[in-house]
Amino acid sequence: MITSPQKIHLTLCVYEKGQPTGDVYDYYPNEKMYRISSYTKPAGKNSFASIFENPVIQTVYDSTGTTLVKDGNGHYPVYSDDYKTVLEEGEVKEGKKTATGKAVSIKGT
């Protein structure tokens, strides 16, 4: 079991040249799986910048374990690091966010 003493965002992944590569596992503070995403280096490119900002979203769960995104398709909420605020949400198709998502305005930030 994975534990986070401060009950904050926990991510497991491998880094190459300071950027995540391969599968990335994100967990809720209650230690349940939040998201599985993948970062792959584009062929012929030396920079990880574009993939760092646009991972392939494979699976997303809510905090109770209900599947929201399966095989890269479904509804995807993006949370703040403490999981108390939804920063944006929208549909995912074939692992990529669609343009139909909405950003959420947070007062005071």
Structural domain of 16: 10-92
The pLDDT tens digits for 58-98 are 999 999 999 999 999 999 998 887 888 889 899 999 999 88
- 1: pLDDT strictly greater than 60: no
Within-domain flag for 54: yes
> How does 82-91 read in b/e, with b if 16+ C-beta sit within 10 Å?
ebeeeeebee
pLDDT of 95 reads: 93
Instruction: Report how many domains make up the chain.
Output: 1
Which of the two residues, 2 and 53, has the higher pLDDT score? 53
Share of residues in the chain with pLDDT > 90 (%):
38
Within-domain flag for 79: yes
DSSP H or E segment with residue 49: helix 49-53
